[in-house]
Amino acid sequence: MPGDLNFHMRYKTFKLICIFLLTNSFVFAQSAKKQLAIVNAATLISEKFYDEIPYTNKLGYITIKVKIDSTEYEYIFDTGGYNTVTTEIMDKEKLSTLMEVEVGSSNQVKSKIKLSKVPKLQIGKAVFEGVGVFNFNFTASPVINCYTNGGLIGKSVIREAVWQIDSKNDVIRVSDDIQKMPNIDKGQKLKVRLDKVLNPFVKLAINGREEEFLLDLGYGGFISLTEKTALTYNFSDKILIEGEGDISANGIVKENSFLIPLHKLAIGGSEFNKQVAFFSKSNNLNLLGSELTKYFIVTLDFKNKNLFLTPYPNTEEAEYETFGFSTNILIDKVYVNKLFNGLPAQETGLQLNDEIVSINDKPIEELKICDTYFLINNLLKSEKEITLKVKRNNEFKDFHITKQKPF
């Protein structure tokens, strides 16, 4: 998972979430079937309930309050990922290690981590028992800790209930009964395919051709493609993005990626004509991300393998603009981690690994690193022009950069 976040997080692509079991590696000789039984575990015990839960949109990521025992944590709501807990939560709740497995993120970086179960987990009025979790601290990707102090609420929990994300009101509605959900009658119903690890897939059309996408609300952009899918379209316009690849729970790969125009994207009965997509060699799934919630009230009924999309009235399709760079954090600094060839940031002389020391004359040395990160990226999202001061080889340089449409 997964830059510049006007980019509506399109290149701040945390593929945090897409953790794939590599079933040839486990310590206690348990079978792959037993691994899946743990990671897919969650039982909804609440009955006849309906609740509305406020959520926070952090640069494209949906974060909600989750209670484990008596302590509340900030979690990322992630339809494409597994449930996780930090080592701090493991120790506090005295959770035992049931298994150790090797996993890979969707950017193909691998690590060994522990599997456990949370006896009881609560989101609003929805209470779940026996929730399988991965133990992740995100130390290889410290920026993820700016979004969450708990981790990810993933597929097994989401499958157990009906959820409705309403971005205009910043609420997630949850119930055990689809009939209790508003906004369904005018919705488009799409069928969902769940694979054996509960990944939810839906079909969209690009330029009139149908493709399967992982519905991944843990991806903060709109559309991300595999290299294989992207190259089959023979796009004449293509922008090279140099620097780091996607940031995942396991770390970051160094690789080039590309930006392409889609021309026509069809989702159910709705059509988009101004969208772009990112792709790189390490992408192993086509992704439909959280920007979907800008245009639709999104209702997830995965137990019945349904997705309902209710269009917001009078919502104009946003046309993609960018400064042409993105950012990441390293210990105590925010730096340029991606640079788009031929776009404003590169043309003004900004370089990879430049450390940002002020933006729009706002010095950031006294801020905490996460506050710095969000300040910079919120300005990148909201402003049309920015002034940067960067540090490069112990010298300071100033840049004035204006957003533009890439195509």
Report d(CA 176, CA 261) in Å as an integer: 40
- Domain 188-311 identical in fold to domain 325-402: no
Q: Are 127 and 44 in contact (CB under 8 A)?
A: yes
Tokens of 138: 């995100």
Q: Kindly report the backbone phi and psi dihedral angles of residue 34, in degrees, each rounded to the nearest multiple of 5, phi listed first.
A: -70, -35
Q: Kindly report the backbone phi and psi dihedral angles of residue 197, in degrees, each rounded to the nearest multiple of 5, phi listed first.
A: -105, 20
Q: Residue 235: what pLDDT?
A: 84
Q: Residue 308: what pLDDT?
A: 98
Right CATH for 19-180 from 2.40.170.20, 2.40.70.10, 3.40.50.300, 2.60.40.1220 = 2.40.70.10
Domain boundaries, the chain: 19-180, 188-311, 325-402
The Cβ-side half-sphere exposure at 156, using a 13 Å CA radius, reads: 23
In degrees to the nearest 10, what's the CA dihedral of 376, 75, 293, 340? Answer: 40
Q: Residue 185: what pLDDT?
A: 94
Residue type, 331: I
Q: Residue 249: what pLDDT?
A: 64
Report d(CA 138, CA 243) in Å as an integer: 21
| CATH number for the domain running over 188-311 | 2.40.70.10
Single pTM value for the model: 0.90
Within 10 A of 42 (CB to CB), how many other CB atoms are there?
Answer: 25
Q: What end-to-end distance do the CA atoms of the chain give, in Å?
A: 25
**CA-based nearest residue to 39, from 102, 115, 92, 141:** 115
Q: How far is CA 24 from CA 84, 265, 291, in A?
A: 21, 38, 35
- Those residues with Cβ within 8 angstroms of residue 199's Cβ, 6 or more apart along the chain or in another chain: 80, 155, 214
**Fold of the CATH domain 325-402:** Pdz3 Domain (2.30.42)
What is the rounded radius of gyration, in angstroms, for the C-alpha atoms of the chain? 21
Tokens of 380: 């990148």
Q: Residue 109: what pLDDT?
A: 53
Q: Residue 349: what pLDDT?
A: 98
Segments of the chain scoring below 50 in pLDDT: 1-29, 106-107
Tokens of 262: 């889609």
Q: Residue 251: what pLDDT?
A: 65
3-state DSSP of 277-303 = EEEECCCCCCEECHHHHHCEEEEEEHH
